[in-house]
């Protein structure tokens, strides 16, 4: 499957496959399936939806690859999910504090990249310009966490690719539901 991600704000377009879909999204973009002769609009990616994907990818990585509880990351996810429900229910200061706590947990090696991705989700919640970076980082961190379970380079790459494909399918299933 081939996709085009159209950034409506800047008028740019990026082609990608399923494995690169999660890392190709940006705020105010539209995903289009481009499969030979068929062109089909999949969905629009708003700021809050991009943050939602960011949270889900980072949370999945912690639960399924780090396989440990990271309370500061969990608090961060909870706060960002509250923001997704109602952006006025959480202050920028609260999100920033949660992001810093998740980063500190990651630096303490209690979840590493996945905990950092949790922090990025909080930063993305209040900064639309940071949302694209944060979603890309969360996607990459989840792929890295998936790959770290395997020692050899070939299986590392395969683990990361499998996670990126999972993320692409998650995005497609979100829009099909």
**Quick count: other Cβ atoms within 10 Å of Cβ 9?**
11
Beta-sheet pairing, 29-35 with 2-7: antiparallel
Q: Please give the torsion angle defined by the CA atoms of residues 77, 117, 133 and 4, in that order, rounded to the nearest 10 degrees.
A: -80
For residue 15, the tally of other CB atoms under 10 A from its CB is: 12
Closest to 132 measured CA to CA, from 53, 32, 33, 60: 53
pLDDT tens-digit map of 45-84: 988 898 898 888 888 888 887 777 778 888 888 888 998 8
pLDDT at 115: 66
| pLDDT value at residue 54 | 84
pLDDT value at position 128? 61
- Could you tell me the pTM of the whole model? 0.84
Pick out the chain residues at pLDDT < 70: 107-116, 122-123, 126-133, 137, 145-157
């Amino acid at each position: 499957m081939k996709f085009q991600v159209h950034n409506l704000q800047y008028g740019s377009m990026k082609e990608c496959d399923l494995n690169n879909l999660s890392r190709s999204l940006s705020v105010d973009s539209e995903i289009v399936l481009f499969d030979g002769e068929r062109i089909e609009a999949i969905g629009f990616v708003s700021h809050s939806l991009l943050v939602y994907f960011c949270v889900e990818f980072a949370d999945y990585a912690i639960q399924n690859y780090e396989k440990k509880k990271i309370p500061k990351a969990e608090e961060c996810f909870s706060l960002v999910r509250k923001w997704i429900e109602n952006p006025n229910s959480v202050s920028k200061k609260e999100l920033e504090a949660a992001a810093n706590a998740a980063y500190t947990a990651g630096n303490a090696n209690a979840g590493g990249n996945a905990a950092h991705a949790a922090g990025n989700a909080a930063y993305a919640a209040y900064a639309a310009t940071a949302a694209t970076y944060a979603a890309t980082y969360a996607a990459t961190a989840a792929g890295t966490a998936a790959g770290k379970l395997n020692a050899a380079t070939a299986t590392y790459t395969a683990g990361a690719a499998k996670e990126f494909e999972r993320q692409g399918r998650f995005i497609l299933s979100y829009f099909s539901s």
